Structure 1
Amino acid sequence: MIHAANTQSSLDLGLIGNGAIAALVDARGRIVWGCVPAFDGDPVFCALLSPRLHEGGDYAIELEDMVSSEQEYLPNTAVLRTVLRDGHGGVVEITDFAPRWHQHDRFYRPVMLLRRVRPIAGLPRIRVVLRPLSEYGASKPEITWGSNHVRYLVPGFILRLTSDVPVRMVREGLPFLLNRELHLVLGPDETLTQPVSSFVRQSEEKTIGYWRDWVRNLSIPLEWQDPVIRSAITLKLSQYDETGAIVAAITTSIPEAANTVRNWDYRFCWLRDSAFVVRALNRLGATRTMEEYLRYVANVASAEGVLQPLYGIGFEKELAEEEVSSLAGYRGMGPVRRGNLAWLQQQHDVYGSVVLAATQLFFDQRLLRGDAAIFSRVEPLGERAYALHDQPDAGLWEFRGRAEVHTYSSVMCWAACDRLARIAVHLKLPDRVKYWRNRADEMHARIIEHAYNEELGYFVEALDGNRLDASLLLLADLGFVKPDDPRFVRTVEAIGLGLKRGDALFRYVAPDDFGSPETSFTICTFWYIDALATIGRREEARSLFERILKRRNPLGLLSEDLEFGEGEGWGNFPQTYSHVGLINAAMRLSRPWQDAT
């Protein structure tokens, strides 16, 4: 259990959700971020991004004279427990979750947040403060009420709070003595068909059961089980069940560093990030996520194999970017953005990302098996990869003002053709084996010639370039070079010298469109840990991994970036990339299960 005083780092947040909705809860039990009716919707809870025009954008259970709080997830679940203490011996427990369980051969996962509040000790006085805003904090919704509910008329979606708290106490935020357990259901404008108390309690029991069953089926490593389980649950909460899309993060516009304009909207599905997620979860045995994601890809890929870097969670292609003036930003650090212009970019690595994810269909017997028909649908992605492997793009870091032939993009294009050759072998298609192997070999030779800088003695960021980039740490993992290739070993060593500061890594250090980077990129640190283990520096990798685990927030979650000094989290939160890195590093570094017996 973690403890918090009256002040805390702003990203000391917990994530709750169910595949339809997600929300962030601070250390006082206040919901400060949540969109309806889905991850990319209107943030009715937007206090995290400082509304300018109205107070609110939050949902709190406020304890009078609160002096401290404690917070934890119930083990192996996405159910969050917060304990608030006042200065007079009063103690209140808040249980937060979004309902999810199997029902009628499908998942029950409504757009709904449930809270259970109970007194633990003393005579606590509380207020229920529910202040949703609409249109990105620009408006206050109209409120109506009945005998046991309050309705908030958000444009396009009506929120109804059904509760055994007296309606006037909620409407006016009046304080009252908490002398019994209370239950609050916030969701669609639908009438509950059973008492609210029994609905919340039964939902809590079923939701706990769902998550514990899900975790029970994971193939986790011997060591670092708690961090891996928390990361796996976090990744699962980032998948939108309706379509299979996986968002890069739940938030928008949390800057990569203090007082920087590097603020982006991450509530969309980057095919690259998502492919990393499903490969990590597949290694843990969560195969359904892979199948749902590949269903999503099948819906966005064109017949010609043309892919954008990202799409909306509902398959949207156009994600126009605009600044939102009604929100001042995280800690007042704007701008706040809605949409992301990266959808217009050329990022050629996406073809390799999708093919690598699809490859598992053909070799993993737990999945729906790939066959010649599916292979023929994947092949156009290889054709695009071959055509683009030596062409400039924005790269995986999405440079807005610089296009080069990035080594990582080229290698991922090679990986697409290489895996197609392997799949053709598996399917016993000799003509296609020869076709794709010839293409992959041709690409490999060209990339080696131009990506390895003989004078510097290591691989470089762009073909015929001279800069370092953390993505080069993945060359061995992708199979492009062998782990003991001296060129790769020297590249890892050069990255350690050139990009590492203390215990963390920059993505790159050269100035980009927005100046010089200031914080570490968390996934890059995990890539470095993996690479150290790959080249034989295993104990050094384990030690660094242990230190990075201590940089997670008190509930075990990671954002996109970490400060080099104090290790404070920055960037959108929680970041799927970061949790993928944690899982992969733990799986690589853990002692085998035989050591436990």
Structure 2
Amino acid sequence: MSSLDLAVIGNSSVSAMIDRQARIVFASLPRLDSDPVFCSLLRGGAGADATQQDGTFSVELRDFASSEQSYIDNTAVLHSVLTDDDGGAVEIVDFAPRYDEHNRIHRPPMLVRRITPVAGRPMIRVVVRPMGDYGKSSLRAVRGSHHIVFMGDRNRHRLTTNIPISYVMEERYFRIDQQCWILWAPDEPIEADLEDLCRRYFETTTAHWRLWVRGLSIPFEWQEAVIRAAITLKLCMFEETGAIVAALTTSIPEAPNTVRNWDYRYCWLRDAVFVIRALNRLGVTRTMEQYIGFITDVIDLAEEGVIQPVYGISREDDLTESIAEGLAGYRGMGPVRVGNAAYEQVQNDVYGSLVLAAVHLFFDYRLLRKPANEELYDQLEFLGQRAIQYFDKPDAGPWELRGSASVHTFSAMMCWAACDRLKRIARVMGRTDRTEFWSDKAEHLKLEIERRTWSESRNSFVSTFDGNELDASLLLMAQIGFVQANDARYIATVERIGQELKRGDFIYRYVVKDDFGEPETAFLICTFWYIDALASIGRTLEARALFDRMMTYRNRFGLFSEDVDPKTGELWGNFPQAYSMVGLINSAMNLSLSWEEAS
């Protein structure tokens, strides 16, 4: 049965999901948002066998008995050892090449698999069944001398290997007695010796990741968890443009047998604030700068000031949603969606999200990209004017409700944040007139938001203007700076959320019915927000204990998806979820002892 106990490899251009038998079960190529050429994760029912399906890329060990898997330390390179009933074993190393050369980062749209016999006389077969058009058709295989070309209507892929091509074409078992290599790449001739090329890719990729990790600013505690989260966040980046996707998959349901299935292979502006904060704390300035570049390009090119909540990874503004009829879905729980209709929604928090993301260009002297000038400031002021205009207007809110609209506290608060940060930027630029203007506007919005969202009867802030319900985004009020953490109203709100939204170890987004009924699983980032809120109001021991328990819900590779079932601990939702990994990073940074305290 399919599960999210998966490892992820990638290079910030492509990615692939690998299961416990070292089968590639999902891979979008040649971009993070492409038609998944390997899609068996989304093809079967609960009893489906991935080795018997189209859409898989497996190295199958005859009489398979067990496996051991782990990442090579401080890399995105996966190491698997498969053992058979007789004690024979093969080692499989999987990675996507990523390396430095000629002062540039190279990230070709390739996957490399190294297969080595390590015990006994194992027999393997290689099963490669790529698909096209989101599972509607199998790609046609045409053999060459040392390669196979797989052809579809839109893409051509080439598998090059030193394994006998006939064995691969016929999916025939053979005795492996020497190291073998498989290179999956676009259909272009490989001029170099395959073994030399793949070995060089392995060495340079391993060296690159280890050097990258050495540059991270990590906390003293939970180091391995933070390193893995940081690498995974990097894999969620489409480095060519700087976009960071919400997740690397589409349509893993938020809960069993629901239709809460969404395509998350796009870039949400709301996430920018939290992702940039995590990258900044890690000291990953280059990645942060590239992401800010993507954000400012959105600002520069927005037509008539219209800002969408989500864009494609090369800033596509049309993400029309459709159903992939050729895929049954994860465990048969369709539909499988391509695109995301949220791009058409009104989400008024986008104005604050963009200003908060761009503010780093005016204050962070480490950044080489410096468009922090009057022209950019004028564009940000336009966003501020939109924030003033729309802070008290209904929208879909941070949870992207499809069937209702309200004036959401979070959206209003982010509009206030736009005004507040513009005040600070104006001050540093010496614009006294604009400093006073934005200070007045921020104060006006703050008073109105407080008046409309503080409930005396509930002794709490509430999630909508003049409303009565709570949602987890209220936990962010202190983090964004709308209130101080020692504000009695904020403390009361955190405590009320703990009483009403907590189920077991987890905080729900909300517990009222939405467009699809009552939520069944917990959105993981919300629990990290709660942990940070607990720490900020002085309940640090409680926060640390909860954080430690949260670490036990990661899969065996240290990864989170979007959601978790509080009753079973099973992961649900798209995978790996950048937001969840960001939550882990920020909470670890907040809670860890300092290096000085620990030494």
Same fold (TM over 0.5): yes
SS of the counterpart of 2:400?
A: coil
Shift of 1:595: 2.2
Q: Does 1:393 align with 2:395?
A: yes
Shift of 1:190: 1.3
Given that 2:295 and 2:357 are in contact with CA atoms closer than 8 Å, whether structure 1 keeps it comes out as no
Aligned residue in 2 for 1:546: 548
Q: What pairs up with 1:199-278 in 2 under 5 angstroms?
A: 199-278=197-276
Deviation per CA, 1:83-112, whole angstroms, max 9, x where unpaired? 101110111110000001122222211110
* Aligned residue type for 2:471: D
Shift of 1:51: 5.8
Rounded to whole Å, the distance in 2 between the matches of 1:154 and 1:509 is: 45
SS of the counterpart of 1:527?
A: helix
Aligned residue in 2 for 1:144: 142
Aligned residue in 2 for 1:532: 534
Distance 1:137 1:303, change over 3 A: closer
TM-score using structure 2 length: 0.97
Q: What pairs up with 1:11-410 in 2 under 5 angstroms?
A: 11-50=4-43, 55-301=53-299, 302=302, 304-368=304-368, 369=370, 370-410=372-412
Which stretch shows the higher mean deviation, 318-327 or 567-576? 318-327
Rounded to whole Å, the distance in 2 between the matches of 1:305 and 1:490 is: 38
Given that 1:247 and 1:274 are in contact with CA atoms closer than 8 Å, whether structure 2 keeps it comes out as no
Shift of 1:242: 1.7
Shift of 1:77: 0.6
SS of the counterpart of 1:472?
A: helix
Given that 1:451 and 1:460 are in contact with CA atoms closer than 8 Å, whether structure 2 keeps it comes out as yes
Rounded to whole Å, the distance in 1 between the matches of 2:85 and 2:311 is: 50
SS of the counterpart of 2:333?
A: coil
Rounded to whole Å, the distance in 2 between the matches of 1:195 and 1:548 is: 46
Given that 2:129 and 2:139 are in contact with CA atoms closer than 8 Å, whether structure 1 keeps it comes out as no
Aligned residue in 2 for 1:474: 476
Given that 2:236 and 2:245 are in contact with CA atoms closer than 8 Å, whether structure 1 keeps it comes out as yes
Given that 2:253 and 2:574 are in contact with CA atoms closer than 8 Å, whether structure 1 keeps it comes out as yes
Rounded to whole Å, the distance in 1 between the matches of 2:296 and 2:454 is: 35
Rounded to whole Å, the distance in 1 between the matches of 2:104 and 2:395 is: 41
- Structure 1 unpaired stretches of 5+: 1-6
Deviation per CA, 1:99-140, whole angstroms, max 9, x where unpaired? 011222222111100010101111100001111011111101
Given that 1:304 and 1:380 are in contact with CA atoms closer than 8 Å, whether structure 2 keeps it comes out as no
Rounded to whole Å, the distance in 2 between the matches of 1:75 and 1:361 is: 34
Which stretch shows the higher mean deviation, 210-219 or 364-373? 364-373
Q: What pairs up with 1:430-579 in 2 under 5 angstroms?
A: 430-579=432-581
Rounded to whole Å, the distance in 1 between the matches of 2:273 and 2:35 is: 27
Given that 1:228 and 1:586 are in contact with CA atoms closer than 8 Å, whether structure 2 keeps it comes out as yes
Which stretch shows the higher mean deviation, 215-224 or 273-282? 273-282
Deviation per CA, 1:149-207, whole angstroms, max 9, x where unpaired? 00100222211011101101111111000100001100011111221111111101100
Deviation per CA, 1:224-259, whole angstroms, max 9, x where unpaired? 011111111111111111211111001111000011
Given that 1:35 and 1:44 are in contact with CA atoms closer than 8 Å, whether structure 2 keeps it comes out as yes
Which stretch shows the higher mean deviation, 481-490 or 357-366? 357-366
Shift of 1:304: 4.3
Rounded to whole Å, the distance in 1 between the matches of 2:548 and 2:217 is: 21
Rounded to whole Å, the distance in 1 between the matches of 2:276 and 2:304 is: 24
Deviation per CA, 1:365-424, whole angstroms, max 9, x where unpaired? 111343333322322111111111011100010001110000000000100110110111
SS of the counterpart of 1:572?
A: coil
Rounded to whole Å, the distance in 2 between the matches of 1:248 and 1:352 is: 19
Given that 1:51 and 1:57 are in contact with CA atoms closer than 8 Å, whether structure 2 keeps it comes out as no
SS of the counterpart of 2:332?
A: coil
Count of aligned pairs = 590
* Aligned residue type for 2:429: L
Given that 1:558 and 1:573 are in contact with CA atoms closer than 8 Å, whether structure 2 keeps it comes out as yes
Shift of 1:263: 0.5
Shift of 1:279: 2.0
Given that 2:141 and 2:149 are in contact with CA atoms closer than 8 Å, whether structure 1 keeps it comes out as yes
SS of the counterpart of 1:526?
A: helix
Given that 1:77 and 1:212 are in contact with CA atoms closer than 8 Å, whether structure 2 keeps it comes out as yes
Given that 1:22 and 1:237 are in contact with CA atoms closer than 8 Å, whether structure 2 keeps it comes out as yes
Shift of 1:55: 3.0
Rounded to whole Å, the distance in 1 between the matches of 2:74 and 2:467 is: 47
Rounded to whole Å, the distance in 2 between the matches of 1:548 and 1:560 is: 13
TM-score using structure 1 length: 0.97
SS of the counterpart of 1:524?
A: helix
